[in-house]
Structure formats: structure tokens, C-alpha cells
Structure 1
Amino acid sequence: MSRIVEIRMPRFPECWESCGSCRAEEVYVQSVLIRAGENIGFDETVIVLETGKVALDIPSLYAGRVVEVHIDEGDLIDEGQLIATIDAG
């Protein structure tokens, strides 16, 4: 049975709100590590973000088959933005 779920950009880390210096620049997708049709595991890194000061790995909250990737390398990204859809069924 198919169960389609979404991977979305999580809430930005607390340090971005408290000190502000990490989030002073735009956040973009440095690397996309998944492709449609591939199987991924829970907590597997799906994208790497770049802020100009730090690089952050964003993991999947689901295991399953990647149905579609909705972002590309170089894209600007913000909290809540759709990264990928996964068939977790």
C-alpha cells in the first residue's frame, strides 16, 4: 500500500534566531543527495544547505522510495519549503 509523505525544510536551528549571525545571509541548497526512484533510509541526509558561514545536513524523517525531488542545487530555501515526496508505504 502506498503512503506518500512530504519532506519539508525543518525549522531553522535556534542559534539562527538567538545570535542571528548564522542566518544573516541567504540559505541555499549546496547539494541534493537524492534522486527520484531511489530508496532512502530514515535519518539519511537528503540535502546539504549552505549559509555562507556553515553547511548543514538535512535528514529525512521517513524511509522509502523517492517519488519526486522539488528543489535543485543552488536554489534558495526557507523554512517549510517542500524538498521531496516519498512513498513510505
Structure 2
Amino acid sequence: MAHRTVHMPKYPECWQSCGSCASGDVFILEVLVAPGEQLRHDDNILTLETGKVALDIPTPYAGRVVEIHVSAGDHVAEGAPLVTLECD
């Protein structure tokens, strides 16, 4: 079984050009998964709060959650590890 870590995706280009979504802090509003949970590709793993909107972050992999690297209220940088999955 291989382990894969899901990282914080690159912020959309529109955030830099417009700036209205990213005004204010970007932080984790809610973690939607728990260790041991089985995820399918594109299941949401957490919700980000950007000051203007809440965004769900999906997983690009299917697998079982083995570790969660973040908590609600955490500020996350682009590329930061979010969760580690055990993939088939």
C-alpha cells in the first residue's frame, strides 16, 4: 500500500488579480474527514474560509485517511500537507 499526501492546492490566479476572495485571512473552517475514513476521488476533505467565501477542498486520490496534518482554525500556506491517505 502506498501513502499519498494531499497538499494545499495553488490559490486560483483570480485571487491575485481581483483580491476580493482572498481579502482577510485564509484558514481552515472545518476538517471533514477522520482517521480511518475511506475516501473516493474528489471527496471533500476540508472547508477553507477566505474572508469572502467558503471553499471545499477535494482529494485528488482515493484511499483511507491515515493522518490529518491540520485542524480547524489553522492558517495554511500553498503546498502545506493536509492529509495522508493509504492508497491501493
Shorter chain as normaliser: what TM range? over 0.9
Q: Distance in 2 between matches of 1:88 and 1:65?
A: 7
Task: Tell me the number of residue pairs that the alignment of Structure 1 and Structure 2 aligns.
Answer: 88
Q: Distance in 1 between matches of 2:76 and 2:83?
A: 13
Matches within 5 A, 1:1-89: 2-89=1-88
Between the two proteins, what is the percent identity of the paired residues? 47
Q: Distance in 2 between matches of 1:31 and 1:73?
A: 5
1:24-52 alpha-carbon deviations (Å, 9 max, x no partner) = 21100001001111101100000000011
Structure 1 unaligned runs (5+)? Answer: none
Q: Distance in 1 between matches of 2:73 and 2:21?
A: 18
1:33-89 alpha-carbon deviations (Å, 9 max, x no partner) = 011111011000000000110100100000010010000011111110100000012
TM-score (norm 1): 0.94
TM-score (norm 2): 0.95
**Aligned amino acid, residue 62 of structure 2:** A
Q: Distance in 2 between matches of 1:77 and 1:54?
A: 16
**C-alpha contact (below 8 Å) 2:39/2:62 kept by paired residues:** yes
Measured on the aligned residues, the alpha-carbon RMSD in Å equals 0.8
**C-alpha contact (below 8 Å) 2:29/2:73 kept by paired residues:** yes
